[in-house]
Amino acid sequence: MSRISERQILMQGNEACAKGAIDAGVRFFAGYPITPSSEIAEILAHDLPSVGGKFIQMEDEIGSMAAVIGASLTGVKAMTATSGPGFSLKQENIGYAAMAEVPCLIVLVQRAGPSTGLPTSPAQGDAMQARWGTHGDHPVIVMAPASVRETYDLTLACVNWSEILRVPAILLMDEVVAHMRENVTLPDPRELDIHDRPGPTLPPGHPDFRPYLPGPDDVPPMAPFGQGYRYHVTGLHHDERGYPVHDGAVAGELGRRLLRKLERREADIARVEWVWGPGRGDRGPRPPDGWPSGRDATVVVSFGSTARSAEAACDLARSQGREAILLRLVTLWPFPDAAIVEAARKVAPGGEILVVEMNFGQVVREVARAAAGQARVRHFGYVSGQLIPPDEIAREIGGRGRTG
């Protein structure tokens, strides 16, 4: 029985990622083996050739990212997958993709670091690297799935946004989500909302063709190599023709536009989920009206697999009479500032925002920035090679971690 038609299956996150990529239209993968991401490469090595795609295992992580860029410029949706050490190696070329506006998906399955760290136990220590890993100000999209099904959905979302905006998109997984198996029902691929990069508006050879002339959305339509168009791509600051310039005004405007094209769509990309109870209906993009009822409430902010522990912790805390709600960050960048502002308003002045992440304090900095002093923000998290158990988080909710 074909797995394409049989859409309800028990699968792991890495498999959902590979399936999502193929359903999103990805037809090129270049990578280098690294646990806990290798299944993605293995599945795509198997599946891509029969759907007209190409798979290549490169000689190193740097080369993988470079090959993804080369392939994407010929018009194909392209991706790679790695873990922390490999992600570090890819950084220069991720910056290149941001600068030359080459759509690509980078799947980062986090394991404990720094360095070789704890292979291959879960951690969320690469959140900041996902945002700021490459040098220079640059746009990037980062999404963090918390379940197998969401891995499929966010793989699609990352590919879509990457194509629409011509930016590198990073699917920030972690070892638990990657290797955890869940029974999922995948949507019919024919019903998916699939987006391609914007195509050129002028025919090949047209004298007015400018490969980096942005459209009204600040995104330049993208001409694929080898289909009649001819142009120059560079990682240097460049003009609308794609050639390097030293003109400060042109360079400055390019840098601003690269960020602006994302800012325009921030509200659509930056997604969160509020969870206020164990039921299916107890979750949504906004917190319920009237929450909280008291002055001592906690908004627990979390993402990825840790959000599952945090959700159970909130249930536990509520069963013990404390007011707690989970704010799960689906998108990490662009950062969902608006949701944090709302969280701060909800808990102030007596409550707090408790940021739970499998690291020693990364996303908490963004939360504190967005809360802008309007609420108390505290971090709870560590890296031990294990998920943070719900009861530990529950103890922090209105518990002993609180001070005066």
Partner 1 sequence: MSLDYRRYLDETALPLMWCPGCGDGTILKALLEAFASLGLERERVVVVTGIGCWGKADDYIRTNAIHGTHGRALAVATGVKAYRPDLTVVALMGDGDCATIGGNHFIHAARRNIGITAVVSNNLNYGMTGGQFSGTTPAGSKTSTSPYGHAEDGFDLCRLADAAGANFVARTTAYHYRQMVRLIKEALLEPGFAMVEVASPCPTYYGRLNRQGSAREMWRSLKDRARSVGEEGGEARTGVAPGQRPDEEPRSKPADVIVTGVLVRRTRPDFAARYSDVCRRAMKEGGGEAQLDAR
The least CB distance from residue 38 to partner 1, in Å, is 10
User: What element of type H or E holds 143?
Assistant: strand 141-143
The least CB distance from residue 67 to partner 1, in Å, is 3
Binding site residues, partner 1, CB under 8 A: 2-4, 11-12, 15, 18, 27-28, 30, 39, 42-43, 46-47, 49-51, 54, 56, 58-60, 62-64, 66-74, 76, 78, 92-93, 96, 100, 204, 225-226, 228-236, 243-244
3-class secondary-structure state, position 14: helix
The least CB distance from residue 178 to partner 1, in Å, is 13
The least CB distance from residue 24 to partner 1, in Å, is 15
The least CB distance from residue 27 to partner 1, in Å, is 8
The least CB distance from residue 93 to partner 1, in Å, is 6
Which C-beta is closer to partner 1: that of 2 or that of 293?
A: 2
Closest CA to 386 of 123, 50, 75, 149: 123
How large is the C-alpha radius of gyration of the chain? 22
Q: Which residues are bridge partners to 171 per DSSP?
A: 107, 143
Contact assessment for residue 168 and residue 32, using Cβ atoms and an 8 Å cutoff: no
The least CB distance from residue 251 to partner 1, in Å, is 16
Which C-beta is closer to partner 1: that of 39 or that of 174?
A: 39
Which C-beta is closer to partner 1: that of 60 or that of 263?
A: 60
- Could you tell me the two tokens for 345? 């308003």
Calpha distance 212→230 (Å, rounded): 12
Contacts with 7 (C-beta within 8 Å, 6 or more apart), sequence order: 185, 186, 187, 188
> Taking every pair of C-alpha atoms in the chain, what is the biggest distance, in angstroms?
71
Q: Judging by beta carbons within 10 Å of its beta carbon (0-12, 13-18, 19+), is residue 306 exposed, middle or buried?
A: buried
Which C-beta is closer to partner 1: that of 93 or that of 331?
A: 93
Contact assessment for residue 297 and residue 291, using Cβ atoms and an 8 Å cutoff: yes
The least CB distance from residue 5 to partner 1, in Å, is 10
Closest CA to 334 of 382, 383, 391, 272: 272
Which C-beta is closer to partner 1: that of 74 or that of 386?
A: 74
Which C-beta is closer to partner 1: that of 85 or that of 277?
A: 85
Which C-beta is closer to partner 1: that of 69 or that of 371?
A: 69
Contacts with 5 (C-beta within 8 Å, 6 or more apart), sequence order: none
Which C-beta is closer to partner 1: that of 180 or that of 370?
A: 180
Name the one residue in this structure whose structure tokens are 């500032």. Answer: 337
